[in-house]
Protein backbone atom coordinates (compact mmCIF):
# COMPACT_ATOMS: atom_id res chain seq x y z
CA UNK A 1 0.00 0.00 0.00
CA UNK A 2 2.73 2.40 0.97
CA UNK A 3 4.71 1.87 -2.27
CA UNK A 4 1.67 2.42 -4.48
CA UNK A 5 0.85 5.56 -2.54
CA UNK A 6 4.34 6.88 -3.11
CA UNK A 7 4.12 6.31 -6.86
CA UNK A 8 0.72 7.99 -6.98
CA UNK A 9 2.04 10.95 -5.01
CA UNK A 10 5.03 11.25 -7.32
CA UNK A 11 2.75 11.27 -10.36
CA UNK A 12 0.49 13.92 -8.88
CA UNK A 13 3.47 16.02 -7.86
CA UNK A 14 4.95 15.62 -11.31
CA UNK A 15 1.79 16.86 -12.96
CA UNK A 16 1.43 19.61 -10.42
CA UNK A 17 4.98 20.70 -11.14
CA UNK A 18 4.47 20.74 -14.89
CA UNK A 19 1.13 22.54 -14.89
CA UNK A 20 2.23 25.93 -13.56
CA UNK A 21 4.95 26.03 -16.21
CA UNK A 22 2.35 25.53 -18.94
CA UNK A 23 0.12 28.18 -17.36
CA UNK A 24 2.99 30.64 -17.13
CA UNK A 25 3.73 30.18 -20.81
CA UNK A 26 0.17 30.76 -21.95
CA UNK A 27 -0.04 33.93 -23.97
CA UNK A 28 -2.08 36.80 -22.70
CA UNK A 29 -5.18 37.39 -24.80
CA UNK A 30 -5.89 41.08 -24.98
CA UNK A 31 -8.94 42.88 -26.34
CA UNK A 32 -8.37 46.37 -27.73
CA UNK A 33 -11.63 48.15 -28.51
CA UNK A 34 -11.03 50.98 -30.96
CA UNK A 35 -7.82 49.23 -31.98
CA UNK A 36 -8.09 50.41 -35.59
CA UNK A 37 -7.87 54.02 -34.42
CA UNK A 38 -4.89 56.27 -33.97
CA UNK A 39 -3.81 55.44 -30.39
CA UNK A 40 -5.28 51.92 -30.50
CA UNK A 41 -3.30 50.81 -33.54
CA UNK A 42 0.00 51.87 -31.94
CA UNK A 43 -1.01 49.97 -28.81
CA UNK A 44 -1.80 46.88 -30.92
CA UNK A 45 1.68 47.08 -32.51
CA UNK A 46 3.21 47.21 -29.05
CA UNK A 47 1.20 44.27 -27.63
CA UNK A 48 1.82 42.01 -30.64
CA UNK A 49 5.49 42.88 -30.55
CA UNK A 50 5.78 41.59 -27.00
CA UNK A 51 4.00 38.34 -27.89
CA UNK A 52 0.38 38.81 -26.77
CA UNK A 53 -2.66 37.56 -28.67
CA UNK A 54 -4.65 40.61 -29.70
CA UNK A 55 -8.31 40.94 -30.65
CA UNK A 56 -9.40 44.28 -32.07
CA UNK A 57 -13.06 45.23 -31.94
CA UNK A 58 -13.81 48.31 -34.02
CA UNK A 59 -16.74 49.68 -36.03
CA UNK A 60 -14.40 51.77 -38.24
CA UNK A 61 -16.29 54.98 -37.48
CA UNK A 62 -13.09 57.02 -37.14
CA UNK A 63 -10.55 54.20 -37.40
CA UNK A 64 -9.22 52.60 -40.55
CA UNK A 65 -8.37 49.04 -41.50
CA UNK A 66 -5.15 50.44 -42.99
CA UNK A 67 -3.92 51.18 -39.46
CA UNK A 68 -3.75 47.47 -38.62
CA UNK A 69 -3.53 45.89 -42.08
CA UNK A 70 0.13 44.99 -41.49
CA UNK A 71 -0.98 42.45 -38.85
CA UNK A 72 -3.62 40.64 -40.91
CA UNK A 73 -1.46 37.58 -41.63
CA UNK A 74 -0.42 37.22 -37.99
CA UNK A 75 -2.12 34.22 -36.32
CA UNK A 76 -1.98 36.06 -32.97
CA UNK A 77 -4.12 38.89 -34.40
CA UNK A 78 -7.88 39.04 -34.95
CA UNK A 79 -9.94 41.93 -36.28
CA UNK A 80 -13.69 42.05 -35.59
CA UNK A 81 -16.02 44.65 -37.09
CA UNK A 82 -18.37 45.31 -34.21
CA UNK A 83 -20.01 48.24 -32.47
CA UNK A 84 -19.39 48.20 -28.70
CA UNK A 85 -22.89 49.60 -28.17
CA UNK A 86 -23.99 46.00 -28.86
CA UNK A 87 -23.04 43.25 -26.39
CA UNK A 88 -20.33 40.78 -27.38
CA UNK A 89 -19.05 37.49 -25.97
CA UNK A 90 -15.28 36.93 -25.98
CA UNK A 91 -12.79 35.18 -23.73
CA UNK A 92 -9.94 37.55 -22.84
CA UNK A 93 -7.53 38.32 -20.00
CA UNK A 94 -7.28 42.08 -20.45
CA UNK A 95 -9.40 44.78 -22.05
CA UNK A 96 -8.04 48.10 -23.24
CA UNK A 97 -11.25 50.04 -23.87
CA UNK A 98 -10.50 52.84 -26.33
CA UNK A 99 -13.53 52.72 -28.65
CA UNK A 100 -14.89 56.26 -28.93
CA UNK A 101 -14.43 59.02 -31.50
CA UNK A 102 -11.85 61.31 -29.90
CA UNK A 103 -11.76 64.38 -32.10
CA UNK A 104 -14.43 67.10 -31.73
CA UNK A 105 -14.78 67.13 -35.53
CA UNK A 106 -16.06 63.55 -35.36
CA UNK A 107 -17.75 63.33 -31.98
CA UNK A 108 -19.88 66.41 -32.63
CA UNK A 109 -20.95 64.88 -35.95
CA UNK A 110 -23.22 62.44 -34.10
CA UNK A 111 -23.38 63.41 -30.42
CA UNK A 112 -25.99 60.83 -29.44
CA UNK A 113 -23.85 58.06 -30.92
CA UNK A 114 -20.84 59.45 -29.05
CA UNK A 115 -22.53 59.40 -25.66
CA UNK A 116 -24.06 55.98 -26.37
CA UNK A 117 -20.59 54.66 -27.19
CA UNK A 118 -19.21 56.09 -23.97
CA UNK A 119 -22.03 54.92 -21.73
CA UNK A 120 -23.56 51.76 -23.26
CA UNK A 121 -20.28 50.72 -24.92
CA UNK A 122 -18.34 51.06 -21.67
CA UNK A 123 -21.11 49.25 -19.74
CA UNK A 124 -20.91 46.34 -22.20
CA UNK A 125 -17.14 46.10 -21.98
CA UNK A 126 -17.31 46.23 -18.17
CA UNK A 127 -19.99 43.53 -18.24
CA UNK A 128 -17.63 41.45 -20.37
CA UNK A 129 -14.72 42.13 -17.99
CA UNK A 130 -16.88 41.02 -15.06
CA UNK A 131 -18.01 37.81 -16.78
CA UNK A 132 -14.55 36.64 -17.82
CA UNK A 133 -12.68 38.18 -14.89
CA UNK A 134 -10.51 40.37 -17.13
CA UNK A 135 -8.58 43.45 -16.12
CA UNK A 136 -10.15 46.55 -17.68
CA UNK A 137 -8.45 49.80 -18.68
CA UNK A 138 -10.44 52.88 -19.70
CA UNK A 139 -8.86 55.58 -21.82
CA UNK A 140 -10.50 58.64 -20.38
CA UNK A 141 -9.49 62.16 -21.25
CA UNK A 142 -8.25 65.51 -20.01
CA UNK A 143 -11.67 66.74 -21.16
CA UNK A 144 -13.13 65.45 -17.88
CA UNK A 145 -11.56 68.61 -16.38
CA UNK A 146 -13.67 70.73 -18.78
CA UNK A 147 -12.57 74.37 -18.88
CA UNK A 148 -10.43 73.94 -15.76
CA UNK A 149 -10.38 76.42 -12.91
CA UNK A 150 -7.19 74.86 -11.53
CA UNK A 151 -3.89 75.04 -13.36
CA UNK A 152 -2.12 72.68 -13.87
CA UNK A 153 -4.65 69.88 -13.33
CA UNK A 154 -4.06 67.17 -10.77
CA UNK A 155 -6.08 63.96 -10.80
CA UNK A 156 -7.91 65.07 -7.62
CA UNK A 157 -9.48 68.02 -9.43
CA UNK A 158 -13.20 67.38 -10.19
CA UNK A 159 -13.39 69.62 -13.22
CA UNK A 160 -15.58 72.35 -14.65
CA UNK A 161 -17.75 70.83 -17.35
CA UNK A 162 -20.78 72.24 -19.13
CA UNK A 163 -23.44 69.49 -19.05
CA UNK A 164 -25.50 70.94 -21.91
CA UNK A 165 -22.87 72.11 -24.41
CA UNK A 166 -21.83 70.76 -27.80
CA UNK A 167 -18.81 68.98 -26.26
CA UNK A 168 -20.83 67.42 -23.43
CA UNK A 169 -21.51 64.18 -25.33
CA UNK A 170 -17.78 63.50 -25.07
CA UNK A 171 -16.87 65.17 -21.73
CA UNK A 172 -19.87 63.96 -19.78
CA UNK A 173 -19.78 60.64 -21.65
CA UNK A 174 -16.23 60.02 -20.45
CA UNK A 175 -17.09 61.19 -16.93
CA UNK A 176 -19.92 58.63 -16.85
CA UNK A 177 -17.56 56.00 -18.29
CA UNK A 178 -15.20 56.70 -15.36
CA UNK A 179 -18.12 56.41 -12.92
CA UNK A 180 -19.20 53.09 -14.42
CA UNK A 181 -15.63 51.84 -14.27
CA UNK A 182 -15.33 52.66 -10.56
CA UNK A 183 -18.79 51.22 -9.81
CA UNK A 184 -17.89 47.88 -11.46
CA UNK A 185 -14.66 47.98 -9.45
CA UNK A 186 -16.36 48.68 -6.13
CA UNK A 187 -19.55 46.73 -6.78
CA UNK A 188 -18.40 43.72 -8.79
CA UNK A 189 -14.72 43.53 -7.89
CA UNK A 190 -13.55 44.11 -11.49
CA UNK A 191 -9.88 45.09 -11.65
CA UNK A 192 -9.83 48.46 -13.36
CA UNK A 193 -7.41 51.15 -14.53
CA UNK A 194 -8.24 54.68 -15.63
CA UNK A 195 -5.94 56.80 -17.81
CA UNK A 196 -6.75 60.43 -18.56
CA UNK A 197 -5.01 61.11 -21.84
CA UNK A 198 -4.08 64.64 -22.87
CA UNK A 199 -3.92 65.55 -26.56
CA UNK A 200 -1.73 63.11 -28.42
CA UNK A 201 -0.38 63.40 -31.93
CA UNK A 202 1.67 61.25 -34.25
CA UNK A 203 1.65 59.07 -37.35
CA UNK A 204 -1.74 57.54 -38.31
CA UNK A 205 -3.69 60.40 -36.81
CA UNK A 206 -6.64 61.23 -39.12
CA UNK A 207 -5.54 63.86 -41.59
CA UNK A 208 -8.65 65.92 -40.82
CA UNK A 209 -8.42 65.28 -37.06
CA UNK A 210 -8.47 68.98 -36.27
CA UNK A 211 -7.02 68.78 -32.77
CA UNK A 212 -4.06 70.63 -31.41
CA UNK A 213 -0.88 68.62 -31.04
CA UNK A 214 0.88 68.39 -27.72
CA UNK A 215 2.17 64.94 -26.97
CA UNK A 216 3.61 62.25 -29.21
CA UNK A 217 2.14 58.73 -29.09
CA UNK A 218 4.38 57.86 -26.12
CA UNK A 219 1.10 57.63 -24.16
CA UNK A 220 0.83 54.03 -25.42
CA UNK A 221 3.74 53.05 -23.19
CA UNK A 222 1.94 54.77 -20.30
CA UNK A 223 -1.21 52.71 -20.96
CA UNK A 224 0.74 49.44 -20.86
CA UNK A 225 2.59 50.47 -17.69
CA UNK A 226 -0.71 51.42 -16.06
CA UNK A 227 -2.40 48.16 -17.05
CA UNK A 228 0.49 46.23 -15.53
CA UNK A 229 0.71 48.33 -12.37
CA UNK A 230 -1.15 47.79 -9.13
CA UNK A 231 -2.77 51.21 -9.28
CA UNK A 232 -6.34 51.95 -10.29
CA UNK A 233 -5.79 55.62 -11.11
CA UNK A 234 -6.96 57.89 -12.54
CA UNK A 235 -3.61 58.92 -14.00
CA UNK A 236 -2.91 61.95 -16.17
CA UNK A 237 -0.90 60.91 -19.23
CA UNK A 238 0.25 63.97 -21.10
CA UNK A 239 2.97 66.46 -21.78
CA UNK A 240 3.31 69.26 -19.24
CA UNK A 241 5.22 71.40 -21.75
CA UNK A 242 3.08 74.51 -22.16
CA UNK A 243 2.79 76.78 -25.20
CA UNK A 244 0.27 79.23 -26.60
CA UNK A 245 -1.56 78.44 -29.83
CA UNK A 246 0.42 81.19 -31.54
CA UNK A 247 3.72 79.66 -30.40
CA UNK A 248 2.49 76.34 -31.73
CA UNK A 249 1.52 77.89 -35.05
CA UNK A 250 5.05 79.26 -35.39
CA UNK A 251 6.59 75.82 -34.77
CA UNK A 252 4.23 74.20 -37.28
CA UNK A 253 5.08 76.91 -39.80
CA UNK A 254 8.77 76.26 -39.35
CA UNK A 255 8.37 72.52 -39.82
CA UNK A 256 5.77 72.48 -42.60
CA UNK A 257 6.23 75.63 -44.66
CA UNK A 258 8.11 78.72 -43.44
CA UNK A 259 6.25 80.89 -45.96
CA UNK A 260 2.80 79.93 -44.61
CA UNK A 261 0.62 82.66 -43.08
CA UNK A 262 -1.04 82.32 -39.67
CA UNK A 263 -4.79 82.98 -39.81
CA UNK A 264 -6.91 83.90 -36.77
CA UNK A 265 -10.39 82.37 -36.47
CA UNK A 266 -13.27 82.33 -33.98
CA UNK A 267 -12.87 79.60 -31.34
CA UNK A 268 -15.39 76.77 -31.04
CA UNK A 269 -17.88 76.67 -28.14
CA UNK A 270 -16.72 75.48 -24.70
CA UNK A 271 -13.15 74.96 -25.84
CA UNK A 272 -10.95 74.88 -22.71
CA UNK A 273 -8.89 78.07 -22.45
CA UNK A 274 -5.84 76.58 -20.83
CA UNK A 275 -4.79 73.06 -19.97
CA UNK A 276 -1.67 71.47 -18.59
CA UNK A 277 -1.35 68.08 -16.91
CA UNK A 278 0.30 67.62 -13.55
CA UNK A 279 1.96 64.25 -14.18
CA UNK A 280 3.69 63.78 -10.81
CA UNK A 281 1.46 60.80 -10.01
CA UNK A 282 2.30 58.94 -13.25
CA UNK A 283 6.00 59.78 -12.84
CA UNK A 284 6.13 58.57 -9.27
CA UNK A 285 3.89 55.49 -9.40
CA UNK A 286 4.30 54.31 -13.01
CA UNK A 287 7.73 55.70 -13.78
CA UNK A 288 6.25 57.28 -16.90
CA UNK A 289 6.86 60.63 -18.54
CA UNK A 290 6.73 61.79 -22.15
CA UNK A 291 10.04 61.67 -23.97
CA UNK A 292 9.61 63.35 -27.34
CA UNK A 293 9.48 67.14 -27.42
CA UNK A 294 7.23 68.80 -29.99
CA UNK A 295 10.06 70.01 -32.15
CA UNK A 296 11.22 66.40 -32.63
CA UNK A 297 7.84 64.70 -32.88
CA UNK A 298 6.15 67.13 -35.22
CA UNK A 299 8.36 66.44 -38.27
CA UNK A 300 7.65 62.69 -37.90
CA UNK A 301 3.92 63.27 -38.04
CA UNK A 302 4.24 65.77 -40.87
CA UNK A 303 6.16 63.21 -42.91
CA UNK A 304 3.45 60.60 -42.26
CA UNK A 305 0.75 63.07 -43.37
CA UNK A 306 2.73 64.00 -46.50
CA UNK A 307 3.11 60.35 -47.46
CA UNK A 308 -0.60 59.78 -47.11
CA UNK A 309 -1.68 62.98 -48.87
CA UNK A 310 0.64 62.85 -51.85
CA UNK A 311 1.42 59.15 -51.70
CA UNK A 312 5.18 59.47 -51.41
CA UNK A 313 7.86 60.69 -49.07
CA UNK A 314 9.45 64.11 -49.45
CA UNK A 315 12.76 62.46 -48.80
CA UNK A 316 13.26 64.64 -45.74
CA UNK A 317 15.24 62.88 -43.10
CA UNK A 318 12.74 62.81 -40.22
P1 LIG B 1 -9.64 57.46 -32.88
O2 LIG B 1 -10.91 58.13 -33.28
O3 LIG B 1 -8.50 57.43 -33.83
O4 LIG B 1 -9.91 55.96 -32.41
C5 LIG B 1 -11.11 55.54 -31.85
C6 LIG B 1 -11.46 54.19 -32.44
O7 LIG B 1 -12.69 53.73 -31.87
C8 LIG B 1 -11.68 54.24 -33.96
O9 LIG B 1 -10.98 53.18 -34.57
C10 LIG B 1 -13.19 54.09 -34.11
O11 LIG B 1 -13.55 53.51 -35.34
C12 LIG B 1 -13.52 53.24 -32.91
N13 LIG B 1 -14.91 53.39 -32.46
C14 LIG B 1 -15.60 54.52 -32.25
N15 LIG B 1 -16.84 54.25 -31.83
C16 LIG B 1 -16.93 52.90 -31.77
C17 LIG B 1 -17.98 52.00 -31.43
N18 LIG B 1 -19.17 52.44 -31.05
N19 LIG B 1 -17.72 50.66 -31.50
C20 LIG B 1 -16.50 50.20 -31.89
N21 LIG B 1 -15.49 51.01 -32.23
C22 LIG B 1 -15.71 52.34 -32.17
O23 LIG B 1 -9.21 58.14 -31.51
P24 LIG B 1 -7.85 58.03 -30.69
O25 LIG B 1 -7.22 59.37 -30.74
O26 LIG B 1 -7.09 56.85 -31.07
O27 LIG B 1 -8.43 57.83 -29.23
C28 LIG B 1 -8.53 56.56 -28.62
C29 LIG B 1 -9.07 56.71 -27.20
O30 LIG B 1 -8.22 57.56 -26.43
C31 LIG B 1 -10.47 57.30 -27.15
O32 LIG B 1 -11.21 56.63 -26.15
C33 LIG B 1 -10.24 58.72 -26.75
O34 LIG B 1 -11.32 59.25 -26.06
C35 LIG B 1 -8.99 58.61 -25.88
N36 LIG B 1 -8.24 59.86 -25.89
C37 LIG B 1 -7.49 60.21 -26.96
C38 LIG B 1 -6.81 61.43 -26.93
C39 LIG B 1 -5.95 61.85 -28.08
O40 LIG B 1 -5.39 62.94 -28.02
N41 LIG B 1 -5.81 61.07 -29.12
C42 LIG B 1 -6.92 62.28 -25.84
C43 LIG B 1 -7.73 61.89 -24.79
C44 LIG B 1 -8.37 60.68 -24.81
N1 LIG C 1 -22.08 42.04 -21.64
C2 LIG C 1 -21.39 41.78 -22.80
N3 LIG C 1 -20.57 40.69 -22.85
C4 LIG C 1 -20.39 39.86 -21.80
C5 LIG C 1 -21.10 40.13 -20.60
C6 LIG C 1 -21.93 41.24 -20.55
O7 LIG C 1 -21.48 42.51 -23.78
O8 LIG C 1 -19.62 38.91 -21.93
C9 LIG C 1 -23.00 43.19 -21.57
C10 LIG C 1 -24.40 42.77 -21.20
O11 LIG C 1 -25.12 42.52 -22.37
C12 LIG C 1 -24.93 43.96 -20.44
C13 LIG C 1 -23.70 44.70 -19.95
O14 LIG C 1 -22.59 44.05 -20.52
O15 LIG C 1 -25.64 44.84 -21.31
C16 LIG C 1 -23.59 44.71 -18.47
O17 LIG C 1 -23.48 43.40 -18.02
P18 LIG C 1 -23.67 42.99 -16.51
O19 LIG C 1 -23.64 41.51 -16.41
O20 LIG C 1 -22.74 43.76 -15.67
O21 LIG C 1 -25.10 43.57 -16.18
P22 LIG C 1 -26.55 42.97 -16.45
O23 LIG C 1 -26.52 42.21 -17.75
O24 LIG C 1 -26.81 42.12 -15.28
O25 LIG C 1 -27.40 44.18 -16.53
* Residues across the chain: 318
Enter the ipTM: 0.97
- pLDDT attached to residue 262: 84
- List the residue whose alpha carbon is closest to atom 25 of ligand 2: 127
What percentage of the chain carries pLDDT values higher than 70?
83
pLDDT in tens, 127-172: 999 999 999 999 999 999 999 999 999 999 999 999 999 999 999 9
pLDDT in tens, 263-311: 888 877 777 788 899 999 999 999 999 877 777 777 777 777 777 776 6
Q: Is the pLDDT of residue 14 over 70?
A: no
Sign of CA pseudo-dihedral 31, 52, 187, 198: negative
Give distance in angstroms: CA of 155 to centre of ligand 1.
Answer: 21
Give distance in angstroms: CA of 260 to centre of ligand 1.
Answer: 31
Question: With a 6 A CB cut-off, is 178 part of the ligand 1 pocket?
Answer: no
Identify the weakest region by mean pLDDT among 9-18, 19-28, 91-100, 247-256. Answer: 9-18
Burial of 232 (0-12, 13-18, 19+ CB in 10 A): middle
- List the residue whose alpha carbon is closest to atom 5 of ligand 2: 128
Question: With a 6 A CB cut-off, is 114 part of the ligand 1 pocket?
Answer: no
The Cα-based distances of 89 to 41, 80, 128, 227 in angstroms read 22, 12, 7, 22
Q: What is the mean pLDDT of residues 49-65?
A: 96
Quick one: DSSP state of residue 145?
A: G
Q: Is the pLDDT of residue 28 over 90?
A: yes
Ligand 2 pocket (Cβ < 6 Å) reads 87-89, 123-124, 127-128, 130-131
Confidence of residue 314 (pLDDT cuts 50, 70, 90): very low
- List the residue whose alpha carbon is closest to atom 29 of ligand 1: 98
Give the contacts of 200 (CB within 8 A, at least 6 positions apart).
38, 39, 214, 215, 216, 217, 219, 238
Please, are residues 218 and 290 in contact by the beta-carbon 8 Å criterion? Answer: yes
Question: With a 6 A CB cut-off, is 237 part of the ligand 1 pocket?
Answer: no
pLDDT in tens, 93-109: 999 999 999 888 888 88
- pLDDT attached to residue 215: 54
Please, are residues 57 and 84 in contact by the beta-carbon 8 Å criterion? Answer: yes
Give the contacts of 127 (CB within 8 A, at least 6 positions apart).
87
Instruction: Please give the mean pLDDT across all residues of the chain.
Output: 85
- pLDDT attached to residue 216: 59
pLDDT in tens, 183-212: 999 999 999 999 999 987 666 666 565 555
**Residue 188 CA, closest ligand 2 atom number:** 20
- pLDDT attached to residue 224: 96
Give distance in angstroms: CA of 34 to centre of ligand 1.
Answer: 6
- pLDDT attached to residue 48: 96
- pLDDT attached to residue 99: 98
Which H or E element spans position 3?
helix 2-25
- pLDDT attached to residue 130: 98
pLDDT in tens, 245-258: 788 788 878 877 88
pLDDT in tens, 74-90: 999 999 999 999 999 99
CA–CA–CA angle 282, 295, 254 (5° rounding): 150
Give distance in angstroms: CA of 115 to centre of ligand 2.
Answer: 18
Question: With a 6 A CB cut-off, is 200 part of the ligand 1 pocket?
Answer: yes
Catalytic annotation present for 170: yes
Give the contacts of 47 (CB within 8 A, at least 6 positions apart).
30, 32, 54, 224
Give distance in angstroms: CA of 98 to centre of ligand 1.
Answer: 5
78-87 as b/e: b if 16+ CB within 10 A: bbeebbbbee
Burial of 128 (0-12, 13-18, 19+ CB in 10 A): buried
- From the CA of 125, the nearest ligand is 2
Which of 33, 46, 63 has most ligand 1 atoms within 8 Å of CB, for mutation?
Answer: 63
pLDDT in tens, 225-240: 999 999 999 999 998 8
Q: What is the mean pLDDT of residues 21-41?
A: 86
Residues 96, 145, 170, 184: which is the catalytic one? 170
Amino acid sequence: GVVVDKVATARVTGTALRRPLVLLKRRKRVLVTGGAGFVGSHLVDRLLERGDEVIVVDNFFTGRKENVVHHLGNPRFELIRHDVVEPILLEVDEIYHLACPASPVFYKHNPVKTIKTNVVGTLNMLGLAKRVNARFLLTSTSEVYGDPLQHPQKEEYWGNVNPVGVRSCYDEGKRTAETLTMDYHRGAGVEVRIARIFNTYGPRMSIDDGRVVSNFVAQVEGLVLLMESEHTGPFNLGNPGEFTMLELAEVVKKVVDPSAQVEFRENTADDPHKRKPDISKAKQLLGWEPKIPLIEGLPRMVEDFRQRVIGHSTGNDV
